Structure 1
Amino acid sequence: MNTVAKGDLFEDTIYKYLKEEIESGQFFTDKDKSRIFPKKAYYSHARQKDIIFDIAIEVYRPGQSGFSFLILIECKDYSSPVKVDDVEEFHSKVQQVAGVNVKGIFASTNSFQSGALTFAKSQGIALLRYYNRDELKWEVPRYLARNNAFGQLAPSLEEVHLGLTEEHYDSLYLEAYCYYDDNYTNSIIEILRRLAGCSKQNTKQTDENHEEVEFAVPYIAPEQLKTYSEKTLRAIEYHFGAVDLNRIVELYADKELSLIIDDREMFGKGRNRMLGKLTFTPPTITIFVNNHHTRESQRFTIAHELGHFILGHGDYMYREYYDVGDWDQLLAASSVYNIIDRMEYQANHFASNILLPEHELLSDFQSLLVKYEIKDRGCGLLYLDDQKCNQDSFHNVANELRHKYQVSKMAIKYRLKNLGLLQEPDTKLRYDNGARSNRGDEI
């Protein structure tokens, strides 16, 4: 695709994005009092001719035929960071449109240099860095960002600043990183409101088609997740050994759920190899089968994606992929960091319950304690630290369970910890945008 075609495509993407946001019902004025245009021309007295802007938003007051407020948007699909000269040139064009209150937004696919940020702040220009939704790890509905419904650990101001200024920053689930007048946000609606001089929106406002979304994804207690998994196991008439995941997929044939095996080697964020992915329209689980992925990791990935589907996460995301960097989420101690952490925790918990059914597992565990003469020496039946005797006890038990249930030691470790059968020295791991392990063979 040539440069012009790429630029046109980006302009169309931003136009559709802003149009959807304005029509959400949370713009600072009624949606029938505003109009959005692609490639709109406005007269410049300095040039004695029209200047064509990529996108324009005109806002009308009741009873007036002409617009009273104008937002002009410049769109640049750059392969390098935006320089101050680009923002200065755009600002100069905005200033040439006279007669109404005019504001500008500079939208880019790349980051903004520090000089561009400084100039934008001094001249009242808003900045928007846009990340292609098709390249995000999780694609979530826009109303979640619109209502700041990501939970208590929504991206911090520092994180949004990085998303705007770091060229190689990888956004996992947010498409917009915005700045205006010392305000950093992932909500373009908030930026549009601030450009108009409106106060910050109430995060408890509702979207036209959704209930209150201060924290969108509902909490599901471990006992409820256990109930979901046990109901599923009864439905496939499970009795012994490795669970047949294909039979679970077949349970949802009426909802057209399908499982696809793909032998390609696919990479996600940070060049992490993808293990699988899930799309909800149509509902499809794709598993990448190649020499880099073990049978155990493939089974856990299928169970994980089934968890998302069965637990109704399609209400809160359109698609996601699972990669070798996701293993540390298995050790997360809590499920309430943000909506992504919550859904991943729930899917992992469901997967471990499905792959290692509790009744069967407890029976096997007791037999293995007897077989390997493992006794509680004051720290629990299994205590995994750096002592060789404790490591040997864990590996003896885990190896037998691994072969019977066709799961990895990491999955066994996670399951035993949740059941209170395995203790470790205190550790705290959390899933975020930071470094992640590539030990996908241990999932």
Structure 2
Amino acid sequence: MNSTSKGDRLEDAFYHYLLDQQDRGELIFGAYPPENCRIYRKKAYYCREREADVEFDVVLELYRKGRDTPHLYVIFECKNHEASISEVYVNDFSSKIGRIFPHAVKGVMVVTSRLQAGAEKVARNARMGIVKYDEQGLEIIADRRGSCFEHSFVRSQIFRSANSAKSLKFSAYHDGEYFSSIDRFLGSLEPELVDGIRPENGGGSLPVPYLSIEQIKAAAGKILKFADYESGAVDLVKVCQSLSIDLQFADRAVLDADGVAILGSANFGRKAIEINSHSRETRERFTIAHEIGHFCLNHERYLRSETIIERDLFVTREKDGSFNYERLEYQANAFSAELLLPDAVFLKKTAHFRRDLEMRDRGHGYIFVDDQPGNSATYDELLSRLSTHFEVSKQAIEVKLKKSKMLTDQRKRNEASPISRVFAGLISSRKS
């Protein structure tokens, strides 16, 4: 795809995003109702210096009530680059709008990558707005009281950072403030219109409530009962059907704006889950159960849409200083583990396979394994049977055994795999 096509794709996506926000009445709280916000794509304005029209990617004209001419122009310049944005583009854009609009205008760079240091300084000094837009990113719900996403998390979306974060659909910077919703961002461009809205910086975020593992376990159990689950591998398609969730599978790789693979996504408005291509069926099942967890734990209070990347599967505990979105992902991971391996059925089936394999407690524990070939072979067969029965990974079964305090493991080399660490973290989670 050439650069023009890529740019057009970003312009089109962002233009329709603004139209969607306008339809919801969320462009600006206060003086400009949706009908006073006119949105254009490829709008041209006359430039005296050039004696010709100059075209802009996306334009938002804001009108005062009863006025025929715009009170404020918001000009969006879209740059769909894989590399970080250099200061050349920022300077060119600033110069272009300066020649046409001497006042009552705000320039906003819309990018899919981050800005280089020089471009960042130019944009800051010019008091230019910066928006990072990722059509595949998660989208928060606008809330006049604040946002559940901390400003440090939003900042990491826009400017270069050592630790890249999960991608938001919309994140913005203007005049020292960070925003995760379009209405607040536009309000910052015209402060007199804000009508009591406060910026999202410095402690203005709304915390996601803590849920104990008992509460999460109860939520998973309720869903299993609702789906008439009795034994074997949980039928996740049936679970979705019982919850009226539209589950779709896409045999394709989907990347976010930072090039990170998106395993799946949930859209709460459409009540839909889409799962992208996976290399392992067990990982796919965990992803589906994770997304179901977002629905069952009422995360639509915070998000309109959600995406899951591999890094999310490693959010295994609630650490001091972690972002609120990590609490949402932790809760969904814990739910997934409880949904796929329900306690009562798992304990019953483990006892059944244990008897078949003639495993006995000889004073070392209910299930014992060490480096002796006989013990190791029998134990591995137990893991294989349970893994096949529940259609989850052997590592997940092993951690479930440890969690249930049924396993005594005295092997000298027992390194957990990444997916095992996911489940292991759910065991040692603590209250925050």
TM-score normalised by structure 1 residue count: 0.68
Equivalent residues of 2:299, 2:328 under 8 A apart: yes
Letter in 2 for 1:303: A
Q: Which residue does 1:54 correspond to in 2?
A: 57
Equivalent residues of 2:314, 2:422 under 8 A apart: no
Q: Which residue does 1:359 correspond to in 2?
A: 344
- Shift in Å, 1:371: 1.9
From 51, 71, 77, the equivalent of 2:74 is 71
Equivalent residues of 1:324, 1:439 under 8 A apart: no
- Shift in Å, 1:161: 1.7
Q: What is the correspondence of 1:262-301 to structure 2 with a 5 Å cutoff?
A: 264=251, 266=253, 268=255, 281=270, 283-284=272-273, 286=275, 288=277, 292-294=279-281, 296-301=282-287
Q: What is the correspondence of 1:25-104 to structure 2 with a 5 Å cutoff?
A: 26-27=28-29, 29-31=31-33, 34-38=36-40, 39-61=42-64, 65-78=68-81, 80-97=83-100, 100-104=103-107
Q: What is the correspondence of 1:263-342 to structure 2 with a 5 Å cutoff?
A: 264=251, 266=253, 268=255, 281=270, 283-284=272-273, 286=275, 288=277, 292-294=279-281, 296-313=282-299, 316-317=302-303, 320=306, 325-329=311-315, 331-333=316-318, 337-338=322-323, 340-342=325-327
Change (3 A) 1:420 1:121: same
From 171, 196, 202, the equivalent of 2:198 is 202
Q: Which residue does 2:147 correspond to in 1?
A: 149
- Shift in Å, 1:62: 5.6
CA–CA distance in structure 2, aligned partners of residues 141 and 288 of structure 1: 25
Between the aligned residues of both structures, percent identity stands at 26
Structure 1 unaligned segments of length 5 or more: list them.
205-212, 425-436
Structure 2 unaligned segments of length 5 or more: list them.
410-416, 424-432
Residue 225 (structure 1) aligned with residue 211 (structure 2): no
State the SS of the aligned residue for 1:143: coil
Equivalent residues of 1:276, 1:286 under 8 A apart: yes
Q: Which residue does 2:412 correspond to in 1?
A: none
Letter in 1 for 2:397: I
Q: Residues 240-288 of structure 1, C-alpha deviation per residue, up to 9 Å, x if partnerless? A: 4444445434534xx3x455666x4636468777766555536355475
- Shift in Å, 1:413: 4.8
Equivalent residues of 2:158, 2:172 under 8 A apart: yes
CA RMSD of aligned residues (A): 4.8
Q: Which residue does 2:160 correspond to in 1?
A: 162
Residue 251 (structure 1) aligned with residue 242 (structure 2): yes
State the SS of the aligned residue for 1:54: strand
Aligned length: 399
TM-score normalised by structure 2 residue count: 0.69
Equivalent residues of 1:274, 1:323 under 8 A apart: yes
